[in-house]
Chains A and B, each alone.
Chain A
Amino acid sequence: MPKDGGIGASSKRREDVRFLTGVGNYTDDINMHGQAHVFFLRSDVAHGTLTTVDTSAAADMPGVVQIFTGADFEAVGGMPCGWQVTDKHGEVMQEPRHPVLAHGKVRHVGEPIAAVVAETLEQARDAAEAIVVDIAELPAVMDMKAAVAEGAPKVHDDLTSNLCYDWGFVEENKDAVNKAFEEAAHVTTLELVNNRLVANPMEPRVAVGDYSRGTDEHTLFTTSQNPHVIRLLMGAFVLGIPEHKLRVVSPDVGGGFGTKIFHYQEEAFCTFAAKACNRPVKWTSSRTEAFMSDAHGRDHVTKIELALDADNNFTALRTDTYANMGAYLSTFAPSVPTWLHGTLMAGNYKTPLIYVNVKAVFTNTVPVDAYRGAGRPEATFQLERVVDKAARELGVDPIALRRQNFITEFPYATPVAVEYDTGDYHATMDKLEEMIDLPGFAARRKASEAKGKLRGLGVNCYIEACGIAPSNLVGQLGARAGLYESATVRVNATGGLVVMTGSHSHGQGHETSFAQVVAEMIGIDESMIEIVHGDTSKVPMGMGTYGSRSIAVGGSAMVRATEKIINKAKKIASHLLEASESDIELKDGAFSVAGTDKSVAWGDVTLAAYVPHNYPLEDIEPGLEETAFYDPSNFTYPSGAYACEVEVDPETGKVTIESFAAADDFGNIINPMIVTGQVHGGIAQGIGQALLENCAYDENGQLLSASYMDYAMPRADDLPMFDVDHSCQTPCTHNPLGVKGCGEAGAIGSPPAVVNAVVDALRSAGKEVTHIDMPLSPDRVWAAMQ
């Protein structure tokens, strides 16, 4: 019987009432008294020297409050980077200054040059058109390999080159890896591109800055996945505002997918300008601005080699990746192609020797940073593609080759510095095979061929490292932040609870699933619990939501705080029941004395805590409110097996997804319906990357895909009904809920399944195709067949 509440129940998402009926409170819904609007004048060239920025005529335009340029921010800090990578020679990465408004040079199309604050947005736009900007154009640095060649034009004149870092991992393994390749019975090599993507959350970014002259307090309302991170970065590194004078609020946020983790210039600007203009300043991104100012994702160019022995065991793996940083380092950009990518190169396989080289490169493009999966999709894609190619070259079944090389004993220490705590890769593959009717594929292929279509089946595995992250470990790896999580549980006198979590929900349904956990622990109805997040004035310092970390880290903090509450409540109950504390049991929202019929209800205990007439005041304080901070001891390792069946129209190259199946192991699950929804969304984005989405620049640095006219988002009719299963559960061994996280899995696991399937389809028609770079748009698939 499915439960109707608590852990494991598919409770309906309580937040959807306001999201679906138009009564949410998004940042753009916030309008302050006396608010002015800012319009950013952005560069329309990719690379050049700013020779003139003349605002004199614009300043006299109607409604203009004040105009700002790069010169106004010279005394202010640059946009900080939150992760410092050390390269293979022990040198720290090159870290360019990232100004709030461009100064001296512009380095990508869309970089803000000037900001006009005016009474209305239209007046600000009118005035921006009157600003005289002259830019002496410089050659745009676009291709990553050309960018690091001798004599290439430099994106940053004060850096030695366009190479941010040259990272080797694990450098000490390099010689052994090379030796294994020399001794290999078979080597499979694949060169591929992991396409640049634009996250495109439904809600564009918005920032509203406010300043109180009376109290010297700043408030920023912003579309962030992590308001405390923004408060710390902006306050401490950009504007010099102490945290006790700075409140950051992220109310309802309409999707983040990573791109709303980062601290952006517009946030710093609105906060700065609110004080400078002494009135609230609001910015709402247009969709066009979003394309050229939200941090992009992926953009790797990789060569991967897999060595096998004569028995088809994987003996070594070697990769060589160029990772695009864009023109500046976005907040966590350096970590994505390194610690979130290199550490996952073992995948689900017991490959004993691995060496990963990553060259991070500056180009005249929008900065690139984490996008759903962040590094792990890039690792999974190249690994699962090269394994598939190896199977074809060796003439063995791709599933059998994977199974033969699966890790089967846990905990398992990989050669790339992480230790998988649990997993059962055969179990998810067994489940997948059951879901996809493998024996029936031949008949389905025949049926497709009868219609003139080619049918292909692609299968792959994935593993990811979630529950980010142990602070002491990431500190050693260069993180300039801790990655614990916090929760305060405040019990009210009448028994209701408010949980203030440092996690942030921007669509994930935390208000529902977090409440289920607390309801289960106390044995009360979910409706008695309110989840509060997204306001630094209410919530203890927390690190927000990304990296599929919320339930594993934020949920654990909430469990710890709730345990403290229960422990204290038991003390109160033992007093009220005149029994020993060790005899008190909590069940179904009542405290009872073991072996007796004496009990006291939850609400009586909470009332006693706040009306302590009959209360052990000599032993414990009144009140019932506890805070916990939880720092994980390891990552969590969700894993799974995915399969995709496609039909390809050989006349046009059009790919249709006929079926898609996902068998995931997320450990224990709080709300199966929400997990299914998360996987659906992730698969949709993964299929988007595989078939449709492509952020493209021309050689001059102009963004070709700057609107939905040219950037293809997946739509419902591009997708099949997904077959999703998460019944394989190996609980995480090191967090209290045994949970692993599910937010990114779909986006990580799905692209290789799609590409493997299309390659399989084309080969069924005798085409000698070994790889097609994503997106597998009709023209690319058709070209590959010619």
Chain B
Amino acid sequence: MYNFEFEKPETVADAVAALGAEDAQALGGGQTLIPTLKQRLASPAVLVSLKGISEMQGICTANDGALCIGGATNHATVATEGGAYPALAATAAHIGDPAVRNRGTIGGSLANNDPSACYPAAALGSGATIVTNTREIAADDYFQGMFTTALEEGEIITEVRFPVPEKANYQKFLQPASRFALVGVFVAKYADGVRVAITGASNDGVFRWSEAEAALSANFAPEALDGLSLSGDDMISDLHGTGAYRAHLCAVMTKRAVAAAS
């Protein structure tokens, strides 16, 4: 780890100001950033912790019924207090291990946009709104490829708003070593249609499977997916599975998510 300055502001405004410094880097729960620093793969001059900002903590329900989660809320809190959206709480309950869940934050996960992370699938699959210090971004516009998002330099995720669906479920097939998602599928049924978001599989990061969404919007049942498949050509191929295997798992896990949705 290289030396850096450490700031822990108590307001979003102070955090934004601190992030204006040269080579400043926001720090959420640090579950990706700290190991990266330890390996000397990043050398920020200033780390700005977002953990001390009370207005970014906690969970509430908006007037329209959406579940609103503060950007600095950790996964364990979502797992235990996000019961208004059971599938989301269940997703959070299975991210990493207890240490990760008690440190990692939703804002940190979405800002990092790891191609195998769980929260991007939940946010995209729910059509969530990513609220920052400057604007509101629809999930469909937010995710722009692996480790790439619509966030501008110094922009902070202050809140994430999840419309609560009629039914939803997340199915994660574990990569045996890291236990990240080898393939993770988030299915959510709303009054105006079904959303299917897949993480872990694509070289372009989290994506929506539109054919499956159309079929499930017409008939929300596993059989509706019969005959549908994805191509493995643009999918991640590594030590743990080929693109073809991941494409196959996408269909299997989508069916299981539909069957398990509640």
Contacts and interface: CB of A to CB of B under 8 A. Distances in A.
Interface of A: 122, 125, 129, 288, 651-654, 691-692, 694, 696, 704-705, 708-713, 777-779, 782-783
A778 B1 CA distance: 36
Interface in B83-116: none
Contacts of A125: 40
B242 interface: yes
Contact of A777 (B176, B178, B180): B176
A110 to B, nearest CB: 15
Interface residues of B, number: 18
Contacts of B252: 651-652
A434 to B, nearest CB: 33
Contacts of B39: 288
B245 A779 contact: yes
Contact of A782 (B1, B178, B180, B248): B248
Interface string B175-191: 01110101000000000
B228 interface: no
Contacts of B173: 652, 654, 778
Interface string B143-183: 00000000000000000000000000000010011101010
B191 to A, nearest CB: 31
Contacts of B139: none
Contact of A122 (B1, B177, B178): B1
A691 B174 CA distance: 14
Given A651-B252, A782-B248, A708 B177 contact: yes
B177 A779 contact: no
B27 interface: no
B175 to A, nearest CB: 8
A89 B180 CA distance: 52
Contacts of B248: 782
B242 A779 contact: yes
The main secondary structure of chain A at its interface with chain B is loop
A777 B245 CA distance: 12
A710 B177 contact: yes
Interface of B: 1, 39-40, 173, 176-178, 180, 182, 238-242, 245, 248-249, 252
B176 A712 contact: yes
Contacts, number: 47
Contact of A694 (B239, B242, B245): B239
Q: Which of B1, B180, B242, B248 has the largest number of chain A CB atoms within 10 A?
A: B248
The main secondary structure of chain B at its interface with chain A is loop
Contact of A711 (B1, B177, B242, B249): B177
B249 A652 contact: yes
A707 to B, nearest CB: 8
Contacts of A713: 177
A122 B245 CA distance: 43
A712 B242 CA distance: 17
Given A651-B252, A704-B239, A710 B1 contact: no
14 contacts: A651-B252, A653-B245, A691-B176, A692-B176, A705-B177, A705-B239, A710-B178, A711-B177, A777-B176, A777-B240, A778-B245, A779-B241, A782-B248, A783-B242
Contacts of B238: 704
A491 B4 CA distance: 58
B226 to A, nearest CB: 13
The 4 nearest A-B residue pairs measured at CB = A712-B177, A779-B241, A712-B176, A709-B178
A779 B40 contact: no
A197 B186 CA distance: 35
B250 to A, nearest CB: 11
A491 to B, nearest CB: 49
Contacts of B180: 709
Contacts of A704: 238-239
Contacts of A288: 39
Nearest to A775: B176
A696 B241 contact: no
Contact of B177 (A652, A654, A709): A709
Contacts of B249: 652
A710 B241 contact: no
A122 B182 CA distance: 35
A716 to B, nearest CB: 12
Nearest to A779: B241
Contacts of A709: 177-178, 180
Contacts of A691: 176
B253 to A, nearest CB: 8
Given A652-B252, A779-B245, 19 more contacts: A129-B40, A652-B249, A691-B176, A696-B239, A704-B239, A705-B177, A705-B239, A709-B177, A709-B178, A710-B239, A710-B240, A711-B177, A713-B177, A777-B176, A778-B173, A778-B176, A779-B241, A782-B245, A783-B245
Contacts of B239: 694, 696, 704-705, 710
A29 B245 CA distance: 46
A769 B195 CA distance: 38
A693 to B, nearest CB: 9
A783 B241 CA distance: 10
Contacts of B178: 708-710
B258 to A, nearest CB: 14
A779 B1 contact: no
A422 B91 CA distance: 56
